[in-house]
A = this chain, B = another copy of it.
Amino acid sequence: MANSYDTDLDKNPANYQPLTPLTFLARSAAVYPDQSAIIHGQSRCTYAQFYTRCRKLASALAKAGIKKGETVSAMLANTPAMLEAHYGVPMTGAVLNTLNTRLDAQIIAFSLDHGNTRILITDKEFSATVKQALTLTKTANPIVIDYDDPEFDTPGERIGNVEYEEFIKDGDADYDWLMPDDEWQAISLNYTSGTTGNPKGVVYHHRGAYLLAQGNAITASMQKHPVYLWTLPMFHCNGWCFPWTMSVIGGTHVCLRWVRADAIWQALADHQVTHLCGAPIVMSTILNAPEEHKRKLDRVVEFFTAAAPPPEAVLAAMADAGFNVTHLYGLTETYGPAVVNDWNADWDALDSSERATKKARQGVRYAALEALDVIDPQTMQPVPRDGETIGEVMFRGNIVMKGYLNNPAATDEAFAGGWFHSGDLGVMHADGYIQLKDRSKDIIISGGENISSIEVEDALYKHPAIQAAAVVAKPDDKWGETPCAFIELKPETTLSAEEVISYCRENLAHFKCPRHVVFAELPKTSTGKIQKFKLREMARQ
C-alpha cells in the first residue's frame, strides 16, 4: 500500500550512490594527500601518489581491453602492487581475483580457467609456478604482467608480456574511474582452499566490501591514521578487507613480503604499528623470535587472530610482549571476519584461566552482519542457548558473499532456508556468544556419541609439554570412530603416548580421550591452518 513517504521521494543521483570502498581512497587522497599510505622496505608512498598509481593501473587495464565483469588475477605477495590491484581493478568495473601464492600450478590453472582470467599480474617469486600453470590451463589465456618487487632480490624469471611499472607508465593519472552501476556488482573473487574437490569461487560485491571496510575500523576502535602491518596475506579474503579499511581513516599500510620474526619486530618498532592480523602461527613467530630481534614497544599493539582460539599461555605471553589479542571468526564466504570476541570489561576481573575460556569463544556478530545463530540444519530452529547443544553456525547479512561463481547448485545449498550455512558446528552460550565445536566433517562420532575434536585439543593444549595438537577420527570396527591425537612437543620435552592418554582421562570424559597418540609435525595450509584431512589419512593407515 502506497503512503506519502513512498510518493515522489525516489532515488536520484543526488541522494543515492552505490556503496563502494573506492570512494574511500578518493576521499583520503583529497583530504590527506601527504599522509603516508604505503611503506614497503625503503619505498614510501603518500595517499595522493597511491590514488594516482591506482588510477594509472585502472587506465592501463582499460586500455588493455579489460571491461566490466571481467577477471583480473593477482599472484602477489603483500606488496604495493597488491594494494593497487584492490583499487585499480574494480575502478574499471572488473573483478579482482587474488590467488593463494602457496598453491601448486594445477590449482592455479584451475582458478584461471574457472574465473576466465583476462589479465594476470604475477610476482617474480612465483613465476615458476605460474609458468607451469599457464601450460595447464584449458581455456584461459591471460595477458601476463610481471611485478618486479625491489624488495625481492632473488633472481626470478620474467614470464610475462610486460613488466608492471612499464604497464602502468602509460596509464592516465586522471583516469575517470567507474563507480559501480550497482553496489551489488562484483568486486572480487576468492577461491576457497577446499580440502576436498575443486575450490569454489566466492564472489564479493562493492556493498559488502564497503560495509566490512568500515566495520573493521569500528570493531577495531581505530583512530584516524592507524598503522597496519601486513602479516595477514592479502590473497586471503582480500586481507579481511583491510586494504579498503585503511582508506576509510587514512591509515598507513606497512607491507611485508614474508612473515619473518626479525622483519615483524623491526616494522613494529620503527613504524609505530598500531594494528596487525594473523593466524595463531604469527603469534608464535613473534613470541619465539630470538631475543636480539625483539624490541620494546611503547604502546599496546592490537592483534586480531582467527582460526583456532588462542591458548591461555599464548595470550599471557602476548600481553607481556605488548599486544592485546582479539579473537575473530569468519569464512571466505563472509569476507573474512564477521564474528568478534567482543570483550566485556567485567571479564578483566576473572582469573587468567577463566579469561582464556572467555577469549576462546568466537563471539558475536560484527555490527555489519545482521544475524548470527547456531541452528539445527534439519529443523532450521536455533539450538537452546545452553552452551552445550551443538548446531550449525549460520550467518545472515550484508557481509555474506553474493554466492559461488558458476556454481548455482553450491550457492543454493549454502543459502538454503535463507541463511548461509557455514559447515562449522558450534554452541550458543547463554550470553549470546557462540563457540565453535568443530567443522561438520571434523566431528568424531564414537559409539554414537559426538566428540568435539576442539574440546579434546583444548585439553591437550593445557599440557605444559605440548606445543600443538590436532585430533581426528580414526575408523574403528567396534566404535565406528575413535579420537586419534597428533602432537607436536615443545623443544627439549618428552612425553609418552600413555602419559598423554592418562592426562586426558584426568581432564575429559573417558569416551572423549584419544585411543591413539602420534608424535609428529602437523601439516599446515598456506594460511597456517592445520590440514586435518591429511591427518585423517594418516590416522586411517
Contact = CB atoms under 8 A, between A and B. Distances in A.
Interface in A58-112: 68-70, 95
Contact of A415 (B15, B402, B406): B15
A117 interface: no
A274 interface: no
A364 B27 CA distance: 9
A203 B3 CA distance: 13
A8 interface: yes
B218 A69 contact: no
Interface residues on A, range: 35 or more
A371 B27 CA distance: 9
Contacts of A218: 214, 217-218, 248-249
Contacts of A5: 69, 95, 185-186, 189, 203, 402, 405
Q: How many copies does the complex hold?
A: 2
A31 interface: yes
Is the contact region of chain A dominated by helix, strand, or loop, or is it mixed? loop
Interface string A5-18: 11111111111110
Contacts of A405: 4-5, 9
Contacts of A364: 27, 30-31
Nearest to A6: B69
20 contacts: A3-B68, A3-B70, A6-B185, A13-B419, A14-B420, A15-B396, A15-B401, A15-B402, A17-B396, A17-B398, A19-B398, A23-B367, A23-B370, A24-B367, A27-B365, A31-B344, A34-B346, A214-B218, A217-B218, A218-B248
**5 smallest A-B Cβ distances: which pairs?**
A3-B69, A13-B418, A5-B186, A17-B370, A8-B408
Given A6-B186, A32-B342, 8 more contacts: A6-B69, A7-B406, A9-B403, A15-B420, A17-B396, A27-B364, A214-B367, A221-B224
Interface of A: 1, 3-17, 19, 23-24, 27, 30-34, 68-70, 95, 116, 184-186, 189, 203, 214, 217-218, 221-225, 248-249, 342, 344-346, 364-365, 367, 370-371, 395-398, 400-403, 405-406, 408, 411, 414-415, 418-420, 431-432
